[in-house]
Each structure stands twice: as C-alpha cells, then as structure tokens.
C-alpha cells in the first residue's frame, strides 16, 4: 500500500478463482478514475442519457460493483435485479421497459432458452441493447449473431481485470474490438506468454495482456500479467475514437497445447457455434490429463440443438472444421440438448 490508511475510502476483493483472494484498496481519486474509465467504456456502446438499463450482477465485494456507478454517471436509469432469478429479470424487462440489459454472455444465451420455453417474446421486448461482460464470448461473431437475432438487440462487450479495474475496455457500435476506456489511467502492453518478450502493438497482434496503473495511488500495479490472451488493433476506428482496441481470445489458464498448437476453448466454441441450429452452442472440452500439453485427439463434448438427433456426419463436419480453422485434432462427442450445464454467470468450458 502506497498511501496512509486514512486515505482509503473502499476495499474490494478479488474472487480468488485463480488463487487466494486479494484485497484491493482505493483512494477517492482511484475510485473516481475507475468510474470515469468505466463510463467511457460503457458510453462507447451508444447507450445514452435518459435510457433505462437493467443490470444482473451480484457484484457485492468485487470490483465490478464500481463499474455500476458508471450507469448513473452516464445519466441512465439503473435497475439492478441481480442474478438468481430469470423470472425477476424478465418481469423488470416487461414492466419497466429498459432499452438496455447488462449481463454475462452466458446469461444472455440462457435467457434466450428460458424465453423460448415459456413463449416470452424477447425480440418484441423494449431491449435494444445488450451490454455483455464478465467472460469472453460477446465478441465471437457466431455467438454474437445468435444473441443479436434472439434478443433483437445490438450486442457490445466490455471487459475489466479484477486487480486493475472494472470495465477498462468497451466496444463501440462498430463492434471491431473493445476500446481502452481507461486510457490515461492504465497503460497496456502485449507479451509472449511463454517467453515474456514484448509483442509489438499493431493491428492483428496477439499475446498476453499486461497492464500498468498510471494514476492509481493506493496500491498501484506495475506490468501486471492479466492471463488474458488478446488480439489488438491500433488503427483508428470508424467511430472516431483513437484508443487501441482488443478482443479477448481466452484465458491463458484455459489454454491447452495440442501437438504444439495453442488451443483456447472459447475459440472451439466459436467454430462449433457456426453449426447452429444443429448444435446449441454449448461445448465442454474434456482433456484426458490435467496437463496443459495434450495428445491428440482432444475430446470435445458438443451439445445438440433442441430436438436434434446425433448423427455421425455432423460430428465429422465439426471435427473437420475445427481441424481447418484451429489446426487441432479433436474427438467430437455429440451430447443431447440440455445435458451441458447452463450458467447465469460464467460458463465453464474446460473440465479437468
Ligand atoms: Zn470504435
């Protein structure tokens, strides 16, 4: 900690999914910078003052809570409903007629199934805009198209990094990656996650995202390795913003190496999703050993679409497509509709 304790106004916690939970102290100016950066990230999406937004995060002790203050800052009417009851979410959508909903991409997909089963007219609802965050997926073209068609709404994503700040990045209506909303507060770099060597920031470059606090006073971090594997763009965006953009490809924690090729489960899901409606879009990678390095073929459970029967030509087509696009040899096991776990928060893509 770099300031006297009496300057701390709030302490958040990390979720501790990748280790022991850590405490994150903030001064008033740290908190203000977080809210301002988040406001820029969410503002990029095109939501504007006077609109209503329903949020579904049980942020509680976590940094994501600070991002919610961005909604008031933007002049939105914020209606928090939390997670745990899709009934409550849909009642708020029906009765309070929000223009926007903030949720994880997994929950957005779950809500589509929920609405289908109950004959709830999602496309006919007031929702014009989904702001998705919390996990990769919202920027994957096939998955995004599925959500946009099913909700009848524009889908843009945002991304924060627990230890650095909430909603640091947010996508604009051009949907060409998330702009760095926290520009000036946070410096971004790319590195090769194995060697640590710096990767030059240019259009299309990929690597592990490394972030440095520039203005943080309470507990600034220097060159923090996020474990997020991202693709960046530095050329100006058609929206007029000049800040660099990125898309998260996956967590380096989830990455597997199959015969020398890096494979991210989220990338597998993206390829498989293109086979909808024959598939539901839910997948589960089931490595045969706990190690990162895997011998081919890599087993992947692919859930069938509603009312679809398993057929070996579909499995073959998916396997072939994965080989072409990701250069990975897989064993595709088709499993019945509804057999893979749904989540109101984040989806698990790997079963170790
Ligand atoms: Zn833009």
pLDDT digits (tens, 9 = 90+) for 189-241: 999 988 999 999 999 999 999 999 999 999 999 999 999 999 999 999 999 99
Q: Is residue 67 part of a domain?
A: yes
Does 288 share its domain with 176? no
User: Are residues 278 and 146 located together in one domain of the fold?
Assistant: no
Token reading at 241: 């913003």
Distance separating alpha carbons of residues 214 and 196, to the nearest angstrom: 21
Q: Which residues contact 333 (CB under 8 A, 6 or more apart)?
A: 299, 300, 301, 302, 315
Same domain for 166 and 299, yes or no, is no
Average pLDDT value for the chain: 93
Task: Say whether 92 sits in a helix, a strand or coil.
Answer: helix
Angle between helices 265-273 and 141-151 (to 10 degrees): 50
Indicate the number of domains in the chain.
Answer: 2
Residue 41 CA to ligand 1 center (angstroms) comes to 11
Per residue in 164-194, pLDDT (tens digit) is 999 999 999 999 999 999 999 999 999 998 8
Which 3 state secondary structure label does DSSP give 310?
coil
Residue 246 falls inside a structural domain: no
Residue where one domain finishes, among candidates 156, 181, 206: 181
Give the mean pLDDT of 31-57. Answer: 96
CATH for 307: 3.30.300.30
Query: 168 and 63, same structural domain?
Result: yes
Query: How far away, in angstroms, is 171 Cα from ligand 1 center?
Result: 7
When pLDDT is averaged across residues 253-271 and rounded to a whole number, the result is 89
**CATH number (domain holding residue 81):** 3.40.50.12780
**261 close to 296: Cβ distance less than 8 angstroms:** no
Q: What is the mean pLDDT of residues 43-50?
A: 96
Residue 263 lies in a domain: yes
Evaluate if residue 26 carries a pLDDT over 70. Answer: yes
- The reported pTM is 0.88
Are residues 275 and 173 part of one domain? no
pLDDT in tens, 271-313: 999 998 899 989 999 998 888 889 999 999 999 999 998 888 9
Please give the share of the chain, as a percent, with pLDDT higher than 70.
99
Last residue of a domain, one of 128, 146, 181: 181
Does residue 277 share a domain with residue 169?
A: no
**Ligand 1 geometric centre to CA of 245 (Å):** 8
Q: What are the backbone dihedrals phi and psi of residue 275, each rounded to the nearest 5 degrees, phi first? A: -90, 5
> 167 CA to middle of ligand 1, Å?
16
- Is 19 part of a structural domain of the chain? yes
Q: Is the pLDDT of residue 18 over 70?
A: no
Whole-number pLDDT of residue 39: 97
Distance 158 CA to ligand 1 centre (A): 13
CA distance 178 to 206: 14
Ligand 1 centre from 290 Cα, in Å? 40
Residues 171, 284: one domain? no
Which of 181, 213, 235 is where one domain is finished?
181
Q: Are residues 26 and 122 in the same domain?
A: yes
Q: Residue 104's domain spans which residues? A: 5-181
Cβ-contact 267, 326 below 8 angstroms: yes
Helices (H), 2-118: 28-43, 64-73, 86-96, 105-118
Of 73, 245, 100, 98, nearest in space to 174 by CA: 245
pLDDT confidence of residue 258:
92
Question: Which tokens in the block code for residue 107?
Answer: 């929950």
Asked, for residue 195, whether it belongs to a domain, the answer is no
How far is residue 196 from each of residues 183, 246, 253, measured CA to CA in Å?
Answer: 23, 19, 16
Q: Are residues 11 and 130 in the same domain?
A: yes
User: What's the CA gap between 310 and 303, in Å, rounded?
Assistant: 9
**Average pLDDT value for residue range 242-246:** 96
Residues 268 and 120 in one domain: no
């Amino acid at each position: 900690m770099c300031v006297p304790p009496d300057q701390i106004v709030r302490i958040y916690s990390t979720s501790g999914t990748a280790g022991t939970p850590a405490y994150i102290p903030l001064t008033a100016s740290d908190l203000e910078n977080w809210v301002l950066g988040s406001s820029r990230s969410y503002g990029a999406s095109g939501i504007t003052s006077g609109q209503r937004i329903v949020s579904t995060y049980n942020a509680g002790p976590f940094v994501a809570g600070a991002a919610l203050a961005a909604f008031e800052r933007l002049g939105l009417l914020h209606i928090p409903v939390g997670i745990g009851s899709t009934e409550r979410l849909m009642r708020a959508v029906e009765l309070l007629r929000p223009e926007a909903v903030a949720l994880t991409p997994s929950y957005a997909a779950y809500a589509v199934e929920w609405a289908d089963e109950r004959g709830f007219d999602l496309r006919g609802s007031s929702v014009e805009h989904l702001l998705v965050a919390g996990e990769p997926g919202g920027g994957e073209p096939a998955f995004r198209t599925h959500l946009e068609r099913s909700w009848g709404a524009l889908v843009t994503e945002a991304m924060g990094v627990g230890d650095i700040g909430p909603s640091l990045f947010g996508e604009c209506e051009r949907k060409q990656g998330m702009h760095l909303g926290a520009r000036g507060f946070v410096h971004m770099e790319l590195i090769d996650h194995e060697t640590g060597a710096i990767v030059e920031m240019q259009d299309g470059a990929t690597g592990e995202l490394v972030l440095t606090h520039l203005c943080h006073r309470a507990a600034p971090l220097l060159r923090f390795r996020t474990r997020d594997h991202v693709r960046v763009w530095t050329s100006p965006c058609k929206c007029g913003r000049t800040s660099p953009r990125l898309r998260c490809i996956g967590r380096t924690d989830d990455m597997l190496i199959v015969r020398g090729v890096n494979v991210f489960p989220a990338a597998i899901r993206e390829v498989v999703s293109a086979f909808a409606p024959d598939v539901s879009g839910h997948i589960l990678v089931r490595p045969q050993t706990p190690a990162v390095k895997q011998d081919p073929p890599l087993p992947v459970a692919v859930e069938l679409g509603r009312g679809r029967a398993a057929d070996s030509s579909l499995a073959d087509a998916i396997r072939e497509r994965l080989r072409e696009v990701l250069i990975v040899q897989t064993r595709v096991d088709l499993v019945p509709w509804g057999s893979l776990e749904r989540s109101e928060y984040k989806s698990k893509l790997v079963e170790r």
